[in-house]
Chain A
Amino acid sequence: MSSFGFPLRSPRTREERPAWEEPPTKIGSAAKAVVITVTCAVMILPFLTVLSTSLASREEITEAGGFVLFPTDPTLEAYRTILSGGIVSRAVVVSVLITLVGTALSLLTTIALAYGLSKRGVPGSKPILLMVLFTLLFVPGMVPMYVVVKELGLLDSYWSLILPVMINAFNLVVLRAFFMNIPEELYQAARIDGAGDWRILTRIVLPLSKGVVAVVGLFYAVTYWNAFFNAMLYLNDSGKWPIQLVLRTYVVQGKSISGDQLGVSHMPPQQSISMAVVMIALVPILLLFPFLQKYFTKGVLTGAIKG
C-alpha cells in the first residue's frame, strides 16, 4: 500500500517514474498520502458504521449507546426480522419489480428510438431529433407533470413510477452517437445481402453495442432503484411504497417500526432495524457497482464528447 512516492515499494508493482521527472519531496508525498487516506476514510466510514450496527446484538448497542463499529458477535437477526414479511419486505419486492420492468421497457424504447434516429433518410427523423434535444434544455415543471399523470389516470399505479421517466434524453443521445459510429460499410454490406432494418438491428447493431447498452441499462436500473420523489408525489397508498420511501419514513424521519408492521412479536433493537433497512437499500447498488465501474467511464465520455 505504500506507493505514495516513498522508495520502500517493491520494484515489481511500481510503474517507472520517467527519468526527467524530479524525485518527489518527502513533504509532498506525505501530504498526498494524508489527503488520499482521509478522503477514502470519509467515503467509506459511514457505510462501515451502518453495516456493523445492523449486525450488532442488543447488548452491544445498549452498551455503546447506539453505534457499534466492531460487533463482537455479529447476528443477522435484524435482517431476518425485516425480511420475514411486513412493510419492508413488500417495499423490496415493489422496488425490485419496478427496477426490472422499468429497465427492460426503458432499454427497449430507448434503443428503438436511437436506432431510428441513427439512420439517414427516415422521413421525419430531423424534427424528431430536434424534439428530443429540446428536452435537454427545458423542464416542463412539476405541477403540469403531476396534472398530466393524474389526468392519464396513473396516480397510485406503479406505472406512474415507470412511464414518466421511461426515456432519458441523455442516454438516447449516447446510444444514437454509438450507432452512428458503426462503420457505414457494415450497414451497406448487410443491405446488399438483403437484410432489412430489423435484422440489421438484431444481428449487427446490437451485438456490436453490447457495452454501451449495458452502461445505459445499468444507469436506468440505478435510477429506478433510487427513485424517491416521484413515488412520494404519485403514490398516496403507503402499502405500495418502494424501498426509498420506507427508508425515508423509518430512518430519515425516525418513525419507529412496530412489530405489527413486520408481523413479528419479538423485535431486535430499533437502531439495528433501521440500519438493516439502510443496508437493504444499498445492497443492489453495491452488487451493480463493479459492472458500473467497468463500463461507465466509457459511457459518460461517449456522451460528453458526442453530445
Chain B
Amino acid sequence: MTSPATQRRPRAASPPPPVSDPKAPNPPRHRRVPLRVRLRNNWVMLALMAPGLLFFLFFFYVPMLGNVIAFQDYQPFIGFKDSPLVGLANFQELFADPAFWEAVRNTLAFAALQLIFFFPAPLALALLINSLVSPRIKKFVQSVVYLPHFISWVLVVALFQQVLGGAGLFSNYLRDHGMSALDVMTDPDTFSLLITGQVIWKDIGWGMIIYLAALASVDQSLYESAAVDGAGRWRRMWHVTLPAVRGVTIMLLVLRLGDVLSVGFEQFLLQRDAVGARASEVLDTYIYYHGVVYGDWGVGAAAGLVKGVVGALMIYGANKVAHAFGEHGVYSK
C-alpha cells in the first residue's frame, strides 16, 4: 500500500487511490499491511457491512443451495437436509409434462410480442417528445406517462377491468348505444394483446427516461451542421438522433433478451382466473402452481432452476453478441 506525496503521515490502511480513475489498478505496493492490522483498522466498515452480507447469504445464497430440492423428493416435514435424493427424476417428470411445454411456449410467445410491440414504443415516444419545442408541454407529458410505472400490477389490472371489463366503462357505453358488450378482460383469444397493451400502458414512460437522457446529451451543433449541409428533418433524425441512442438501445435489448423467460409474473397470476390457464400459463405461474400450490416441490424447483440457468445464459450470450457488434452491452469485460 502506498502513500502519495500529498499525504504527510503515511497511514496503514485506506491508501488513497488516484482520483481521476477509480478503476485504475493498484499502484505498486511498497509495504504489505498485515491482514490483522487491516482488520483492526477497518472494524467499523466490517461491522457496517455485516447486516447486508447476512441478507445476501440468507436470502440469496442459501436459497441457491436450496435448489438442491430439484434433485430431491422434498418432504416439507423433514426439511431439505434430510429429504431423499432422487437424481434427475424431477427433471424427467417436468420434461414429460405437456403443461410445462405449454407454459414455455406461452412465455416465449408473450416475450416475442413484447419485443415487437413494447420494446420500440418508449423510443418512439422519446423521439416524439424530444421533437417538441415547448418545455412546458414536454414536462407535462413526461409527468403523465411516468405515473403508471409506480402503481402495482394489482392496481393496473383493477383499472383495466373498470375500463375494459364486461361491467366496465367501455362495455357500458356500447350497451347504452345499442351494441353488444365486449369483454376484453376474459377473452382468451385476445389475451396476449391485452397483456402487451397493459405493459405498454404501464411502462412506456419509464422506458422512455433513459432514451430522453441520451437524446438530451446530443451536441446541438451536429444538427446545425447537418442542416447546413442540406440534411432535411428525416435525414437529421437518421444520421444524428438515432446513432445517439444506439448504444442505449442495444443495452436494453440485451437486458430484455436476458429476461425472456420472465414475462410479468404478477400480471399473469392476477388474470389467470379470468382467462383460464391455457391462455395465461407462463413459466412463473407454472412454478407457483405446481411447486407451491399443489405441493409438487421437486418439480417446481426443477422448473425454477431450468429457468434461472437459461436466463443467465441468455444474458451472457446476448452480451457476447453486443460486444461482437462493438457495443458495451450491460457489462464490459
Docked Cα-Cα span, A44 to B232, in Å, equals 35
Cα(A220)–Cα(B248), bound, Å: 25
CA distance A257 to B253 in the complex (A): 44
Contact A113 B6 (CB under 8 A): no
A147 touching B66, Cβ below 8 Å? yes
Within 8 A of A (CB), among B37-51: 38-39, 42, 44-46, 48-49, 51
Residues of A within 8 A of B213 (CB): 297, 301
Which residues in chain B, 221-240, are within 8 Å of chain A measured between CB atoms? 223-224, 227-228, 232-233
Task: Kindly provide the distance from the CB of B251 to the nearest chain A CB, expressed in whole angstroms.
Answer: 8
Q: A248 — nearest CB in chain B belongs to which residue?
A: B154
Given that A184-B16, A247-B155, A248-B270 are contacting pairs, would A196 and B44 also be in contact in the complex, using a CB cutoff of 8 Å?
Answer: yes
Does chain A have a CB within 8 A of B153? yes
Min distance, Cβ B128 to any Cβ of chain A, angstroms: 7
Q: How far is the CB of B252 from chain A (nearest CB, A)?
A: 9
**Interface-centre pick from A18, A198, A248, A289 (highest chain B CB count, 10 A):** A248
- Give the top 5 A-B pairs by smallest Cβ distance, nearest first: A113-B52, A141-B304, A144-B66, A3-B134, A226-B152
* Distance A32 CA – B22 CA, assembled complex (angstroms): 45
| Contacts A13-B136, A192-B8; A281 near B315 (Cβ below 8 A) | no
Interface of B is mostly: helix
Taking a contact as CB atoms under 8 Å apart, the answer to whether B38 and A163 are in contact is: no
The reply to whether B201 and A5 form a contact with Cβ atoms under 8 Å apart is: no
Q: Are A251 and B158 in contact (CB under 8 A)?
A: yes
- B145 x A167 contact (CB < 8 A): no
Asked if A300 lies at the interface with its beta carbon under 8 angstroms from chain B, I say yes
| Stretch of B95-103, B188-196, B286-294 that contacts chain A | B286-294
Q: Which B residues lie at the A interface, using CB under 8 A?
A: 1, 6-8, 11, 13-17, 19, 22, 33, 35, 38-39, 42, 44-46, 48-49, 51-53, 55-56, 58-67, 69, 74, 76, 79-80, 125, 128, 131-137, 140-141, 143-148, 150-155, 157-163, 167-169, 172, 175-176, 201, 205, 209-210, 213, 220, 223-224, 227-228, 232-233, 248, 251, 262, 265-266, 269-270, 273, 284, 287-288, 291-292, 297, 300-301, 304-305, 307-308, 311-312, 315-316, 330
A158 CB-CB contact with B under 8 Å? no
Give min CB distance, A289 to chain B, whole Å: 6
With A and B bound together, what is the CA distance between A73 and B251 in angstroms?
52
Asked if residues B51 and A112 are in contact (CB atoms below 8 Å), the reply is yes
A143-B69, A281-B155 known; 10 other A-B pairs, CB under 8 Å? A22-B232, A113-B51, A116-B48, A142-B291, A144-B65, A191-B11, A229-B265, A252-B157, A281-B151, A297-B209
Interface residue? A92 (CB, 8 A): no
Judge whether A11 is part of the interface by a CB distance below 8 angstroms.
Answer: no
Contact A252–B79 (Cβ < 8 Å):
no
